[in-house]
Amino acid sequence: MSLPILSDSIQAYIVEVNRFPLLSSSEEQRLALRYYEKKDLDAAHKLVTSNLRFVVKTAYEYRQYGVSIKDLIQEGNIGLMTAVKKFNPHKGNRLITYAVWWIKSRMQEHILKTTGIVKRGTRALKKKLFYKSIETDSGQLTAANEDLGHPEVTTWDFSLDAPLDDHNAMTYMDGLVDESADQAELASNNQEDALVKSSVTSALAVLNKRELAVIRKRTMAEEPMSLHLLGIELGISRERVRQIESAAMKKLKAVLGNSPAIAGVLPATTCDNLS
């Protein structure tokens, strides 16, 4: 699939992707069906190019991690193409709602591999973030309908964990006073928090409404509801709740399970507890 070339000038690339027309819901549905049923590559190309501006916008949201914007855009474009390939238009969702996870996942994995910033997180911290990351910011999904303008890039590449020199194992962090060290730790944790939350909220988009309702009450709640009580609330059997929860957890683990950003977030099992 031929896409605009991301050269040295990101601004030129932004101008080019803004030239691709946005698709109405009906146009997108028609093209998605053509690709889904007939593997029409021209339809796939139009689906991808109409959403390239969203990839660029998302890349700029991650610029605080000090990773090349161009690299993030390239990773996001791969995620977008993967989403188009896997998208099922019969499920009634807009493409970008489904694609947002694939786009962010590629970018997040690239950030982790490039910077290695996620290394202090504990299981408890990540589970707490998981519980708090219930709602996906719908505003991010409508951003595909906005022109990108001319965002500015700011980057950093200084590591407080780096050795002072080749002959000294002491790090810059070791040499700071306690107050500064606390601030550096806080800044690092804030970055980790943001990355984990972004991973989790994006992953929740793969769940249907009933699965999300069950996960909210069972896995994300600080006081999980029993299968029996949740079944009464939803008007279904205890066993049906267990089946929905199991299916939802499998989806989430398929999305999140191998990411170092959220290792340990998902419980080993939920369905065997609080019956």
Predicted local distance difference test score (pLDDT) of residue 188: 44
Mean pLDDT of 158-185: 41
Predicted local distance difference test score (pLDDT) of residue 262: 53
Does this model's pTM top 0.85? My answer is no
Categorise residue 175: left if φ over 0, alpha if ψ from -120 to 50, beta otherwise. Answer: alpha
Residue 17 pLDDT grade (very low, low, confident, very high; cuts 50, 70, 90) = very high
| Residues β-bridged to residue 168 | 165
Predicted local distance difference test score (pLDDT) of residue 136: 40
> Could you tell me the domains of the chain?
10-206 (1.20.120)
Q: Name the average pLDDT for the chain.
A: 73
Residue 111 pLDDT grade (very low, low, confident, very high; cuts 50, 70, 90) = confident
Mean pLDDT of 188-215: 72
| Residue % of the chain over a pLDDT of 90 | 36
Mean pLDDT of 55-59: 94
Checking if the pLDDT of 40 tops 80, the result is yes
Mean pLDDT of 16-28: 95
